[in-house]
Chain A
Amino acid sequence: MQIDILAQPANTITKITFAQNEEITAEGGSMVAMSGGLDVQTTTHKRGKRGIGRAVKRAFAGENIFLNHYKAERDGAHLYIAPNLSGDIMTHELQGGSLIVQATSFLAHEASVDMDVSWQGFKNMLSSEGLFWLKMSGTGKVLINSFGAIYPVAVDGEYIVDTGHIVAFDEGLNFSLSKAGKSWMSSILGGEGIVCRFKGKGTVWCQSHSPSGFGNALGRLLDPIVEHQQ
């Protein structure tokens, strides 16, 4: 399988060229174009028994929990996939460990990688991000997208990341949700709100821009949604 990352850095697209019988699983809604010679199957993925509140729906907006499984019927069959938002794409090679990935950052994974959608690490999500997380384990490639540029931070001690800026992190890191400054007032008024404190040794991948930051700035200027009362 050959993975080419094109049109970087903001409107990045991936071109995957297959050898016969190779497979890949990609997020539903990500197919841009493909050659002939690919078989496509669609499956849904059950999420755990969480209450679907508005915050959670936000995580799903534009993010389909449906997956497309592509299998090449011949050598050279190729596929172009891309995420919905502007941003970059990176390939992460899993070698036995686990990576926790923010759900809207998941793009695709090789068949040899396992995806767990019911990871409950961030219990009692206070963050307005309403984020969902996926746990990717096994060996093989995972394609991850970001809103903005992706920058890795090798944590050795303690590091703070605004929750809207987390793309993925090594499962081995300790983390806790907390405030950015000494007081809650300061954090919220300063616009930082809830941040994630990572402790220990491992890598956290951050994105330079926050989808909800841009979404709110733009959404404020859009026509409102009219809900009719019964």
Chain B
Amino acid sequence: MSDTNQTSPSVKPLTHVIEGRPDFAYLKVQLPAQETLRVEASAMQAMDKHVTMRTRLKGGFKRLISGENLFLNEFTAQGKEGELILGSSLPGDIKRLYLTQNGPALFLQSGSFLAASTGIETQTKFQGLIKGFFSGAGLFLIKCVGEGDIFFNSYGGIIEIQVENEFIIDNNHIVAFTEGLEYSVEKFGGYKSFFFSGEGLVARFHGNGRIWIQTRAMPPFFAWLNPFRRVVQKKRN
């Protein structure tokens, strides 16, 4: 995979620009005529009127009930090139990678998926999948393979780490990592630390590869919001 455009002749990388970095990034894509881009639900901010949208529910309705769903909208430029402006709902950055058939796959946190061209396949079931990687919160790992552009976003800034030996990360800060790295999930600092230190699950990575971490995490942010929510009294039946 690469950050630049080393491609095979059959797939063309998308013309795009990422603005508003690093804190409130948004992506402007010029979709070639009849090309389709798969986009995370609710990420569309603006688009040309000849760009059409179709909703797909990946995984079917069974997945919807289990809470593990990936709503994707497919945007297609009809007749001529069309502009599409995308962004996530969380404050943060956007990163783009170009995956190739013989390059390593990318593991991506589901909440970070922003958009992918049709040459990229997003798998939610794959070998070596660890359940409960993100300790709930409706998040799961996706495996991205194929050839084409993949755009992902972060909550907070994105820092790229080149792993050489060992690296430990709080799971809520993981955005993506390359195939080839070995990892195990454990509690931080032992049982006492789990409750007192505030850190929950961490992932211990070994080997060589790249990891992208985000500088903010969702669970503590949601906990911080609790005192600002209205309280409603309900009678127990």
Contact = CB atoms under 8 A, between A and B. Distances in A.
A and B touch in the complex (CB under 8 A): yes
Contacts of A31: 170, 188, 197, 199
A228 B231 CA distance: 10
Contact of A7 (B22, B197, B230): B22
Interface string A11-53: 1110000000000000011111111100010101000000000
B85 interface: no
A12 B220 contact: no
Contact of B197 (A58, A66, A80, A227): A66
Given A42-B197, A66-B196, A61 B234 contact: no
B156 A215 contact: no
Given A12-B215, A61-B227, A230 B159 contact: no
Nearest to B200: A29
A85 B228 CA distance: 15
Overall SS of chain B's interface? mixed
A82 B156 contact: yes
A60 B224 CA distance: 8
A28 B229 CA distance: 24
Contacts, number: 158
B224 A84 contact: yes
Nearest to A63: B224
Interface string A197-213: 00000000000000010
Interface residues of B, number: 48
A32 B213 contact: yes
B226 A86 contact: no
B23 A86 contact: yes
A227 B22 contact: no
Contacts of A226: 232, 234
A124 to B, nearest CB: 21
B225 A227 contact: no
Contacts of A185: none
Nearest to A39: B189
B199 A29 contact: yes
Interface residues of A, number: 47
Contact of B159 (A7, A30, A219): A7
B215 A84 contact: no
Contacts of B188: 31, 40
Overall SS of chain A's interface? mixed
A227 B199 contact: no
A183 interface: no
Contacts of B193: 40, 42, 68
A58 B227 contact: yes
A9 interface: yes
A219 B23 contact: no
A32 B173 contact: yes
A56 B22 CA distance: 33
Interface in B21-51: 22-24
B215 A7 contact: yes
A7 B157 contact: yes
Interface string B3-27: 0000000000000000000111000
A222 B225 contact: yes
B216 to A, nearest CB: 5
Nearest to B216: A11
6 contacts: A29-B199, A35-B166, A35-B167, A42-B189, A58-B227, A80-B213
Given A29-B220, A42-B196, A225-B230, 12 more contacts: A11-B23, A30-B198, A33-B168, A34-B168, A40-B197, A58-B227, A62-B223, A80-B159, A84-B220, A86-B156, A227-B232, A229-B236
Interface of B: 22-24, 91-93, 155-159, 161, 165-170, 173, 188-189, 192-193, 196-199, 213-217, 220-221, 223-236
The 4 closest A-B pairs by CB, nearest first: A219-B228, A29-B198, A7-B157, A62-B224
